Amino acid sequence: MTTPSLYTLLLEAGCKLDHHESDLYVLDTPEARAIIEAHGTGVPCAAFRSQVDGKRWLDLPFHFAPWWEHRQQLRRTL
């Protein structure tokens, strides 16, 4: 059995998510921080203030799972 991705855990918890290419963004909340910490991968995350909504978000580099899944599908077709 595989461990759910951080993206999946945050999505299932109802956290507000966004992304840019493979980088995952999650609204900075205590719940999101607890999920990230509990994931146990030592995920580096940097906080930033969104220019769109003025809220504090966390940047989780390389953790937007759908981007990687798409890349794997493209690789299979080559």
Say how many domains are in the chain. Answer: 1
In terms of residue numbers, what domain contains 38? Answer: 6-77
Q: Is residue 1 part of a domain?
A: no
Strand partners, 25: 18, 59
Q: Report if residue 30 sits inside a domain.
A: yes
Cβ-contact 46, 59 below 8 angstroms: yes
Q: What's phi and psi for 37, nearest 5 deg?
A: -65, -40
**pLDDT confidence of residue 72:** 85
Domain for residue 58, yes or no? yes
Instruction: pLDDT band for 78, please (50, 70, 90 cuts).
Output: low
pLDDT for 23-54, tens place per residue? 999 999 999 999 999 987 677 889 999 999 99
Strand arrangement, sheet containing 56-60:
17-20, 23-27, 56-60, 46-49
Give the pLDDT score at 18.
97
